[in-house]
Amino acid sequence: MKFGIIIFPGSNCDHDAFWTVEQVARQKATFLWHDSEDLQNCDAIIIPGGFAYGDYLRTGAIAKFSPVMQSVRKFAVAGGLVLGICNGFQILCEAGLLPGALMRNVGLKYVCKPVQIRVENNETPFTGACKKGEVLTIPIGHMEGNYFCDDATLAELKRDNRIVFHYSNPQGEIAAEANPNGSLENIAGICSPDRNVLGMMPHPERAAEPELGGTDGCRIFESLVGSMAGKELRIPNSASEDRRAVAALPT
C-alpha cells in the first residue's frame, strides 16, 4: 500500500505524516509536490497541516488551484481515499470536495492543545478501527478551525451520518465548554457522501506514538490500512498493544 503526502509551500506537518505512515503504520509513503499532477499510483492521499501558500487570501483558497489538487479531485471522484488534516481539511472545503468552510476561531486566537473528539461514524475507511461513541484524545493546532455551513448542508450532513467527529469532554458529552474554536455544533470532522474523503481539524499524526503523549491517532491510520487491506480489525486494549496491532498490518 502506498500513501502520498502532498507538500505545498508552507506545509509543515508533511514529514510528521510521512513518519507516521512509514514508521508507525509500516506502509510505503512518498511526497507529492504541489506543482505536479502525478499522484504516483498512490492508494491513499494525505493533505497535511500547515499554511499552504501562506494562507494568503484565506486558508486553502490558493491551494485548490494547484495542479496536484486537480488530480486529487479526479482521484476522489473515482473513489480514492483522501484524508485532509487541519489545513488539509480547509483545502478540501475550498476545493469543493467537502461542504462548508473553516473560519477563524472564536476569540481570534491560535489554539494548540490536546482535545477530545467523539467518534460518531465508525463505518468509514478512516474510522473502522474505532467504536461508535469512542472518545479519542488528539491534539489540535489551528487559527481557522471554526467549521461552518448553512442549515441545508448541516441537515444533509446529519441525515447522511457524515459528521464523523464531534468535540466532546472526556466523558463523551457534546458540551459548549469542550468546543475549542466555536465550530458549528462542535463539529471536528466530516466526510464526503461516499465516505472516501475525510476532513478533520485534530492531528492524528501527533498522537500516534507513546513518546508524543498518546496513541489515539493510530486509530485513523490503522483504519485506513485495514480498509485497503480488506481485513477485519481488532481494537487494541492498550497503548503498547495499539502499536503492535498497527505494526502487524500488511505492507
pTM here is: 0.90
Number of domains composing the chain? 1
d(CA 48, CA 34): 12
Residues annotated as catalytic (active site), given as ranges: 86, 203, 205
**Residue 21 belongs to what domain range?**
2-247
Q: What pLDDT, in 10s, does the model give residues 26-45? A: 999 999 999 999 999 999 99
Looking up residue 113, the CATH number of its domain turns out to be 3.40.50.880
Q: What pLDDT, in 10s, does the model give residues 212-235? A: 999 999 999 999 999 988 744 333
d(CA 60, CA 100): 13
